[in-house]
A and B are shown apart, each in its own frame.
Chain A
Amino acid sequence: MDVNVNTVEQSQNEMQKAPQKRDQFKAFWNRYGPGYLMLAPFMILFIIFILLPVVTAIGLSFTNYNILQPPKWAGITNYRLLFTDDDVFLIALRNTLLFAVVTGPIGFFASFFFAWIIDQLKWRNAFALAFYAPSLTSGIAMSVVWLYFFSADRYGFLNNILINIGIISEPILWNMNPDTILPVIIIVSVWMSMGTGFLVFLAGLQNIPREYYEAAAIDGVQNRFQELAYITFPCMKPQLLFGAINAIVNSFGVFDVAVSIAGMPSPNYAGHTIVAHLYDHAFIRFNMGYASVIAVVLFLLTFLLGRLSMKIFSTDN
C-alpha cells in the first residue's frame, strides 16, 4: 500500500513539474521573447559575418587552403614563412607601421586640436564642414585629383611650382619613385583623416557643461591650457577612446589610397601595405591559409592597440 501511495504521489509530482517547467518557459518567453526576436537578425548576421570569420581566420591560418581542395593542416608553417621568408611582407609591415605611426597619432591629435579650436570660433559649422568634407570623399576618386597635383610630368602642379621657383630642374616622379611614394600616400591620407573622430570630438566639446569651466575658474584654473588638462580631457575620455580606436583601425587598414596612387604591385613595393599583401595572397593567388596569417597579424595589431587605448582612456578612476 505504502508503495502505491508513494508512486501515486510521485507521479502526481511529476505531472505538476512538467507544466511548471512549461509555465516557466512561457513566462520567460513572454518577458524576453520579443526582445530576442528583435535582436535575432542583428545577432545572426553579426555571428555569421563578423564573429565566426575572426575565429575561422585564426583556424585557417594553421592550414594550407586553396578553396578547390579541403584545407590541409600545416601547423605554424605559415607563420614561420611569413616572418622569416617573406621579404615582401616585411616591406608591407614596415610601410604600414610607418604609415600608421604618422597618420594614426597625427590624425588623432590633429582631430582633437582642430575640434578644440573650431569649437571656440565663429562659423563653427562651416569650419567643421570644410575639415570633414575630405573624409567624405572616396579615396579612389580623390586620388585622381591628387595625381594631378603629384603628376610625374610638367603638367603636375607641384612639379610645375617647384620648377618655377627653381628648387628643382627636373620633374620628380612623385608616384613612381620608391622614395616619395609613401610620403605622398601619407599626405593624401592625412588630408582625409579628419573623419568620424573629429566629429565626435567636436560634438563632445559642445556637450561639456559651461558651469564646469566657471567652477574651475573659481578654483584657480587660469588659462585655456589648464582648462584643457583639468576639465576638457577628463570630460572627453569616452569620445577620445572612440576616436583612438577609429584612428587605429583606419590607419592599419590603409589600402585603397595606396593602390590608386602607387598601383599594385607598386615600384619596389614602396606602396605595399599589410592589406595589399593580404589581398594579393587571398584573392589573386588564392593562398587562403597563408593570407589568413596576415589577417591574424592585422587583427592582433589593431585589437591589442585598441585594448591599450581602452586602458589609457579608462573612466574608472
Chain B
Amino acid sequence: MPTRSLIKKNKYIDSVSLMAISTKAAALDGVVNAVAAMATPMNKDVLANQGLITDDIAEATPGDLILIVVTSGDEAGADAAMNGLIALLDREPTGQASEIVHHTIAAAAAARPDANIAVISVNGQYAAHEAGKALDAGLNVMLFSDNVPLADEIALKRRAHDAGLMVMGPDCGTAIIGGVSLCFANKVRRGRIGIVAASGTGAQEMSVRIHDFGAGVSELIGTGGRDLSAEVGAIMMLDGIAALDTDPGTDVIAVISKPPAVAVAEKVLDRLAASEKPAVACFLGAGPELMKAAEVRGVQLFNRTKPAALAAVIAGGAREVELDLHEINRPLIEEVRAKLTPEQRYIRGLFCGGTLCDETMFLALEKFGDVYSNIQKDPAKRLKGSDPSRAHTFLDFGEDEFTNGKPHPMIDPSNRIERFKAEAADPEVGVIVMDFVLGYGSNPDPVGVMLPTIVEAKDAAAKAGRHLEVLGYVLGTDRDEQGFDAQVKKLTDAGVTWASSSTNTGLLAREFVSKGENA
C-alpha cells in the first residue's frame, strides 16, 4: 500500500493534540492508517511492530515529529493524504499576536504573580521535572500526567509538604479548586463538603452524588491513585484533609479511594478521627478488618459510594426524609428477569471509569464467585483486555493496555464499541453495563457515539429471539455541558435501562442476572 513518511525535526506537539490529529488524518480520503507522533523510543517500538519504521525514523530523537500515512489508493493519493496530514498540524493561533507567549513555568509564573496552581499534563517522562519547576515557582500542582516514577512522586510530595504546597497526582484526573473544575471534573454546586479523592471517577461520583442530594462541594482535592500505597503513605491525602480541616469554607470532610494498604488506611482514619469536623470515608471494597478499624476510631466508613455521599450530606445538615434517595426499583428487576432466558446469566461491564468499574464489580463479587476483570486483584481471575470474556466480566477501558497511544475512552469510544459488539452477540450475556461520563474533558456526546451500535445490537438480538438488556449509567449533573437529561433520554429512548448512581448500577446489574435461589 502506498505509504508516505516524514520527519519534522525539532517540532513538538503535545500527545493529546497529536492523537486528535491522527484521528482526523485517519478519516482523510483513502487513508488506512495515519501516525502523528513524537519520536520517543516507545512510539518507535510501536511503529517497528507495525512495520512502519524507516532508517530516518529510527534515527529521529524525542524532540522530532513523525508523520506517516498508509493509503489504499494510488501514489498521488498518498501524496495528497500526506499533505492533508501536514495541513492538520496548523493550529489556530492561541491568542492575539500581541499576547506574550511563555515557554516555561518559571517565565509564566514570573509574569503572573497571581498564579497559584500549575496544571500539568505533559508526557510522564517529563512530568516530574515540570512539577519540580512549578514547586520552585511556589505553585501548587495538579499533575494529570501518568507514568511518573514512584520515587519522583514521593520526592515531589515530600517537597510540597515541606513547602506547604500540594501535589495532586500524578495520574490525578479530577479536582475542583475554588469552584473551578480542573481536567475531568463535573460542574457541581459550590457547597460545604470538602472531598479528598485518590481516584478520578471516584471523585466525580462523590461530587455528583452530593450535588444530586442537593448539597455542594467546597474543594475537591485529587491525590492520584498511588497516594494511599504503602510507599507514598498518603502524603497528599493527609495534607488534603489537614487543609480542609482549616478551610473555613468546609464543614464536612469526605475521602474516597479504592481499597488502600491497611496501614495507610489506618493513618487516614486516624487523621479523620482527629478532625473536629464530621468526616466520612469511602474505601471501595473495604473488608471487615477496615470496617472495624474505622468503627474503633468513630469514623463513618463505607464501601459503596452512594451511602458515603448520603452520610456526608446528612453530616452537613440535610434531613434524610427530605432527600430523593433513588431506592432500588424492585419491579424493574422482576421485569428484566422475566425477559431473560436461563442461559442469559452473566454481567458484562464495559467501563470508562475505573472506580465505577470497581464498584459494580465489588457488588457482583458479593453475590458471585466467577467474576473476571482486567483490574481483578486475584491473578487467577485477571483477564487481559484482549482476552475474550468469561462468566461475569468487567473491563476498565481506562487501563494502560487500552490507552497506550490512544485517547482515554471518555474521549474516544472506539475500543469500547468493538467490545460491545462482541458481548452483544454472546447468548450467555444477561446484561451489558456501561457508564457514560459527562463533564469537562469528556466526549461532547458520550451516549450519542455509542447509540447506533446499541440500537443495532438490540435489533439483531430481537431478530434472534433474544432480549438484550443494556444497563446505562450517566455520571454527570444537570449543569454539565453535555446536557444530563438529554443524554439519559437518548439512552431510555433506545430501550436502555437507566441507573441513577454507580452504586445502583452495581446493585441492578447483579440482581438482573440472579436466578433461582440467588434471586
Q: Do A and B come from one complex?
A: no
Residues in chain B within 8 A of chain A (CB atoms):
none
